[in-house]
Structure 1
Amino acid sequence: MKQTNVRQFFQKFPTDEACLEHLFNVRFGQGHVCPKCEREAKWYRLTNEQAFACQWCGHHIHPMVGSIFEKSRTPLQLWFYAIFLFTTSKHGVSGKELQRQLGVTYKTAWRMARLIREHMAAVDGDEPIGGEGKVVEVDETYYGKTVKGRRGRSLDGKAVLVGMVERDGRVITKAIPDIKAVTLHEAVEQSVAKGTELHADQLNSYNHLDQKGYDLKRVNKLRDGWYVGPAGETVNAIENFWRHLKCSIEGTHTSVSPKYLERYAKEFEYRFNRRMRPEMMLDELLSRFPELDA
C-alpha cells in the first residue's frame, strides 16, 4: 500500500469541517455514551462552535480539546496538512518550510512543528526493545560545535544522545547529560529488556553491562572502523541512524539547538520505526492521541 499523496489528502480532508468530523469519529463516534446523562446518544454538530451535542441532554463534546489542536486559531485543515508533510518527508520539515507551505507566521509554524514532533514521540512510545534471543546495538553520539583548542571528546557546548536499535526492529533515542557509566547504564536499563545480546563499542562507560543481565559484546571501532566481528557483533545500524539524523538536520534545519535536539531525534525515531509501513503514519497520527491520557 502506497503513502497518501497530495490529491488523496485533499479528497479526504477537503475542509475544516471534514477534519473536525474525522476527529469526532476517531475519538468518540456516534453512539458514544454521554458523560453527563450516561446514555448512548446520537451527536449533532453545533453551528456556532467546534463541538457536538448529545441528543438527550445537550451536553457538548469538543473533539479538539486535549489534543495538539486545542486552543489553536490555525485552521484544522492546515494542521492536518502539516502532519501530512511530516509523514511524507524523509528528512523532516523546517519551520520556514511550514511557514511557506501554510501561509502562517514563522512563530505559528515553529509552534506547530514543535507540537507535531511531541505528538509523534507520544504515539511512538518508549516500550523496551530486545529480550531473549534479540540483538540490540547501543551507541552514543555528540551534536554541536567543537570548541577550539579542545582535543578528544570534549562535551563543552555539545548535546549527547544515546541510541539503541534492535536488529531489524525499533530504535529508541534519549538525550543524556553526560557519558558516565551510571548515566549510560540507566538509559540502557530503561530501554532494553534484560537477556538481550547487547553490542557496544569500546567506550569504558559500557563496561559491566554484562553484570546487569545483558550478553555484552564489544566492537573496536577505533581499530577496525565499521567492523563486523566473527560472531556478528556490530554497531553499524545505529551508526547509520546517526548519520541519517545528522545529515537531515544539516540539510533541512542547518542547525538545531542542543536544548531541542531530542525532539528532532524523536521525530526521526518515529519515522524509522515505521520504515516498513510508511503508509500508516498519517492515519496513525490523526487517529491516536496518547497525550489525552497524560
Structure 2
Amino acid sequence: MKQNVLAFFKQFPDDDTCLEHLFEVSYGQGHECPKCERDAKWYRIKSEKAFSCQWCGHHIHPMVGTPFQQSRTSLQLWFFAIFLFIKSRNGVSAKELERQLGVTYKTAWRMGHEIRKHMAGVDGETPLGGIGKIVEADETYIGGYEKGAMGGKGKAIVVGLVEKDGDVMTFVVPNRSQASLVGPILNNVHAGTTIHTDTAGQYTALKHFEEYTHLTVDHSISEYVGKDGQTTNTIEGFFFHLKRTIKGTHIWVSPKHLPKYAKEAEFMYNRRKAPNTMLPDLLSTFPLQTWT
C-alpha cells in the first residue's frame, strides 16, 4: 500500500474503521472468549468502543494496552499523528501536532510522548553483534545549559551502540564513568563481537573481557579510520542526526524526556531500509509499556 495522505485516509476514513483495525490485529473473528472459552463471532457495540461475544456477551476493548487507552482524542487523529511521525525526517514537534490535528498543545504534547514510547516498545532491545560482527560504541552530549559551564557540564549524556550494517541502540546515562559507558556494551552486545571505540580511557576496561575484541580509533591525531579498519563514523553520524532533529525541530528537550526522543530516532534508523514497515508495525504491534 502507498503511504501518502490520500492512501492513509482511504484506509482509515473514520474512528470506526480504526477501531475495527485494532480489533483485527489484536483479536480477530473467531478469537476465544476469555469468559466462556468458546471460539466466538464478535459484534461491535455502537454505544462504546468495544466488541461483544456472540455466546455470553463478554466485552473486549481493543484500545486497552495501546497508547490510545483512556484517551478522549479521536482514534483517527491518533493514527494520523503516527503517520506524521513516520513521514517526518526530523521529528514532529508538539506545536506541529497541534496545528495538524487541531488539538490543544497539552494534548499534542502528550500524544507525541506516547507515540515515542510506543516506538521504543515496538523497536525492542534486541542485543547487537555476535561472532564476526562489528559494533561501534561512543557517547555524546545533548542539550542543557549552565551559566559559566565548560565542556559537557549541564548536558545529558547519550551512549550509542550501532552494529555495522545493522541496528542502533541508545542509552541516556548519568555520567561518563566506566560503568556508564561500558555497562551498555556488556549488557547489550553478544560475545564474539569486535568493538570499535575512540581512545577514551573508560573503554580500556573492554581489554579485560576476553569475549570481545576491542579496537580503537584516535581522534586526537585526526585518525578517523584505524589501521585495522576500525571507525566510529557510523555512530557519530547517528548522533549528528539526533542532535539536528532536537535542535532544529524541538529546540531543546529535558534530560527527563531525552530517552524518548533518542528512542524515536533509534526506531527510524533501524527501519531505514524498510520504511514501508513503519506504519504497519506501529498500528499492529502493542507491547506492554513499562516506562514513563
More displaced, 185-194 or 269-278?
185-194
In structure 1, the partner of 2:77 is: 78
More displaced, 206-215 or 138-147?
138-147
Write the distance in 2 (CA, Å) between the matches of 1:44 and 1:98: 34
- Aligned to 2:40, what secondary structure does the other structure show? coil
Q: Give 1:138-287 correspondences, 5 Å limit.
A: 138-145=137-144, 147-151=146-150, 153=151, 155-212=152-209, 213-224=211-222, 227-287=224-284
CA offset at residue 292 of structure 1?
Answer: 6.8
Give the 3 Å change call, closer, same or farther, for CA 191–161 of structure 1 in structure 2: same
Preserved CA contact (<8 Å) 2:26 2:284 = yes
In structure 1, the partner of 2:61 is: 62
CA offset at residue 254 of structure 1?
Answer: 1.1
Write the distance in 2 (CA, Å) between the matches of 1:180 and 1:57: 59
Structure 1 runs, 4 residues or longer, greater than 3 Å off: 145-151
Which amino acid is 1:219 matched to?
A: V
In structure 1, the partner of 2:46 is: 47
Report the count of equivalent residues: 290
Superimposed CA distance per residue, residues 45-67 of structure 1 (whole angstroms, 9 cap, x where no aligned partner) = 01110000000000000000111
CA offset at residue 149 of structure 1?
Answer: 4.0
- Aligned to 2:256, what secondary structure does the other structure show? helix
Superimposed CA distance per residue, residues 262-287 of structure 1 (whole angstroms, 9 cap, x where no aligned partner) = 11010000000000000110000000
Which amino acid is 2:240 matched to?
A: R
**Structure 1 vs Structure 2: percent identity of aligned residues?**
55
Preserved CA contact (<8 Å) 1:3 1:278 = no
Preserved CA contact (<8 Å) 1:138 1:162 = yes
Superimposed CA distance per residue, residues 173-200 of structure 1 (whole angstroms, 9 cap, x where no aligned partner) = 0000011112222111111112110000
In structure 2, the partner of 1:100 is: 99
Write the distance in 1 (CA, Å) between the matches of 2:145 and 2:136: 26
CA offset at residue 143 of structure 1?
Answer: 1.2
In structure 2, the partner of 1:126 is: 125
Write the distance in 1 (CA, Å) between the matches of 2:105 and 2:185: 37
Preserved CA contact (<8 Å) 2:144 2:254 = no
Preserved CA contact (<8 Å) 1:54 1:60 = yes
Give the 3 Å change call, closer, same or farther, for CA 100–229 of structure 1 in structure 2: same
In structure 2, the partner of 1:114 is: 113
Q: Gaps (5+ residues) in structure 2?
A: none
The root-mean-square deviation of aligned C-alpha atoms, in Å, is 1.5
CA offset at residue 147 of structure 1?
Answer: 3.9
